[in-house]
Amino acid sequence: MADPTDPLAVVRSFCASWSSFDLEHLMGFFAKGAVYHNIPVEPVVGTDSIRATIEMFTAAATRIEFRVLHAVAEGPIVLTERLDVFELPDATIELPVMGTFEVRDGRITVWRDYFDLQQYLSQVPSG
């Protein structure tokens, strides 16, 4: 059985859990004072702010998949290359993302995602 505090296992499980739409389960991956930073926009701090941000992403989606293409870890740091897929009622957004996670005691303390904001915005339906 995998170590539930192993940083790579935590991040892989977190990414796989997005397809469940279970917000409580997703929030269970974060440490209380965690930071989530989508690099093109301002960071959010704390689980309440992270929850609100995740709710924005999931509100219109009918399906979400974080396809982990590559993941490597060195100590508490995990790097992921992903294709994040958000199916909406009238569009599908596929966004290449590089993510950096810092994991301590089995919880994500910092999550930074690097992506092209213009590429994302060009896929979002208008109206």
CATH of the domain at 22: 3.10.450.50
Per the structure, the count of domains in the chain is 1
Buried b (16+ CB within 10 A) or exposed e, 9-32: bbbbebbebbeeeeeeebeebbbe
Residue 2 lies in a domain: no
DSSP state of 125: P
Q: Give me the domain span that covers residue 34.
A: 7-123
pLDDT of residue 119: 85
The partner residues of 113 in beta bridges, in order of sequence, read 38, 99
Q: For the chain, report the end-to-end CA distance as a whole number of angstroms.
A: 47
Pairing of strands 30-38, 107-114: parallel
Tell me, yes or no, whether 30 lies in a domain. Answer: yes
| pTM of the predicted model as reported, rounded to 2 decimal places | 0.92
DSSP label of 81: E
Task: Give the residues of the chain that fall short of pLDDT 70.
Answer: 1-2, 127
Q: Per the domain annotation, does 1 fall within a domain?
A: no
Q: Does residue 18 sit within a domain? A: yes
pLDDT digits (tens, 9 = 90+) for 90-120: 999 999 999 999 999 999 999 999 998 888 8
pLDDT at 1: 47
Confidence at residue 127, expressed as pLDDT on a 0 to 100 scale: 60
Asked if the structure places residue 28 within a domain, the reply is yes
- pLDDT for the residue numbered 5: 86
Give every CB contact of residue 70 below 8 A, 6+ residues apart in sequence: 79, 80, 81
Q: Say if 56 falls within a structural domain.
A: yes
